[in-house]
Structure 1
Amino acid sequence: MGDERNEMLTVDFDRLCIGPGRSVLDVGCGAGRHAFEAYRRGADVVAFDHDATELEGVAAMFAGMAEEGDASAEATTTTKVGDALDLPFPDDSFDVVIASEVLEHIVEDEKAMWELARVVKPGGSVAVTVPRWLPERICWALSDAYHEVEGGHVRIYRASELTDRLRAAGLRPLGTDYAHALHAPYWWLKCAVGVDREDHPLTKAYHRMLVWDMLRAPWLTHTAERLLDPLIGKSVVVYLDKPEGAVA
């Protein structure tokens, strides 16, 4: 089960030192995969998103995890509906802030970056992930429907650009990583055959392989993905902290 969860995560939780006594904000949490892992590790978690319906599912999962004993009894969870451009939290509130696959949807992304920097504590950690430039550029070239949808992707970042803009918001970059290389060809296939075509045999076969990989976490595909991540990883991850003495 642990390997399966790790296959689904974009952020390296060991690198963020997430555990008991740490407060974690998952901005744009979506279905909650990162929030759930933070809760499993004993952190006090706030799952934040603009989609109230999505958060209902996250809250139900939190409750189920608590009932099954899949999280520390001391850890706490909260779900909160809101706007990433105006986070409803005081300055310097969280030890760790995660924003995974969020900024590419936001027109005023620099304002959102300043909000991430504002709510993390001095000395605290931030992890930001977005689609990587090359895999994303191929998707855009293959299909307008991939990104020209309501709430879709409004820009493609280069890692250096994303890092520079987060630095300008007051955060200190610590390193960059890449993830989900095996997912990039899947999205290229979907874009090539039609993003709404769920019945195409190529995409169905590839999707079955991805599910098998997540459930089984075999050595072969795990090793292949780690080797391919620097080349075609679907997501780029930037790790940062907020310098001590920084003013929110």
Structure 2
Amino acid sequence: MLTVRFSELSIGPGTLFLDAGAGFGRHAFEAARLGAQVVALDYAQDEVIAMRATFSAMYEAGEIKAENLVGVLRGDATCLPFADNSFDCIVTSEVLEHIQNDVAALSELARVLKPGGTLGATVPSWFPEKINWMLSDEYHAPFVVGGHVRIYSGTELKAKLRAAGLRVVGQHRAHGLHSPYWWLRCAVGPAREDNRMVNV
């Protein structure tokens, strides 16, 4: 599921695109399909390996061209390995809530974004996220390595984006149809993937 509205990002052939905190690559893959030159970065090595395999399969299937993939690499969003003003478009989707020093990450994203470029950032909605935290300590840090470390309000996120030197031009809320699933997961224990309530 894409959590960023690509129609608002002006992505097309030749766009230099960074997916920061790409996970298994859903946004990077979509940008490549649209003709962008994609760099996908994630902190987790297993996800980097999986992304490389998927990009290879997409190329072999003719879904993308060789020039659509600039690189897939392991890295830290608080210390990006790119020059200033490198990217036309950056997506960081469902990432900032995992990063202890989100201010440093936003500063780095602003640094590598070209003047006039676009950043698409998404975080979980406050209310469903608050319920997850109330239902289970196993859902968030410090109990889970790499788990969520904060719950953003819309006001807080916008203030941090502006403090990083970014201009907020819009926001929207997407459906939360996955929220009841996560409430069930948290109620039975997030790590219990074998539970019938969450494995239907």
**TM exceeds 0.5?**
yes
Higher mean C-alpha deviation, range 28-37 or range 46-55: 46-55
Aligned partner of 2:45 in structure 1 is 52
User: Partner residue of 1:161?
Assistant: 156
- Superposed CA RMSD in Å reads 1.2
- Deviations 1:146-170 (CA, angstroms, capped at 9, x unpaired): 1121111111000111011101100
Pairing partner for 1:41 from 10, 34, 37: 34
Partner of 2:107: 114
Structure 1 gap ranges (5+): 1-7, 206-248
Q: Give the conservation status (yes or no) of the 8 Å contact 1:10–1:129.
A: yes
Total equivalences in the alignment: 198
What residue identity is the alignment partner of 1:95? Answer: D
User: Unpaired segments of 5 or more residues in structure 2?
Assistant: none
Where 2:139 maps in the other structure, the secondary structure is coil
Percent of residue pairs identical: 56
Q: Secondary structure at the match of 1:175?
A: coil
2:73 is equivalent to residue 80 of structure 1: yes
Task: Note if contact 1:39-1:77 (Cα within 8 Å) is conserved in structure 2.
Answer: no
Q: What is the distance in 1 between the residues matched to 2:71 and 2:36?
A: 12
**Matched-pair contact (CA < 8 Å) for 1:26–1:46:** yes
- Correspondence for 1:134 among 110, 120, 127: 127
Pair 1:192 & 2:187 matched = yes
Q: Pairwise mapping of residues 27-38 of structure 1 onto structure 2 (< 5 A)?
A: 27-38=20-31
Q: Provide the C-alpha distance between the structure 1 equivalents of 2:50 and 2:109, rounded to a whole number of angstroms.
A: 24
Shift of 1:196: 2.0
Larger relative contact order (Cα-Cα within 8 Å, sequence gap ≥ 6): 1
Structure 2 counterpart of 1:178: 173
Match of 1:213 in 2: none
1:85 and 1:199 map into 2 onto residues whose CA distance is 35
Distance 2:66 2:98 in 1: 35
TM-score normalised to the size of structure 1?
0.77
Deviation at 1:181, TM superposition (A): 1.3
Which of 61, 74, 77 aligns to 1:68? It is 61
Q: What is the SS of the residue equivalent to 1:20?
A: coil
Q: What's the CA shift for 1:74?
A: 4.4
Residues 198, 74 of structure 1: CA spacing in aligned structure 2 closer, same or farther, 3 A cutoff? closer
Deviation digits for residues 205-227 of structure 1, max 9, x if unmatched?
3xxxxxxxxxxxxxxxxxxxxxx
Distance change (3 Å), C-alpha of 1:85 and 1:162: same
Contact 1:10–1:180 (8 Å) recurs in 2: no
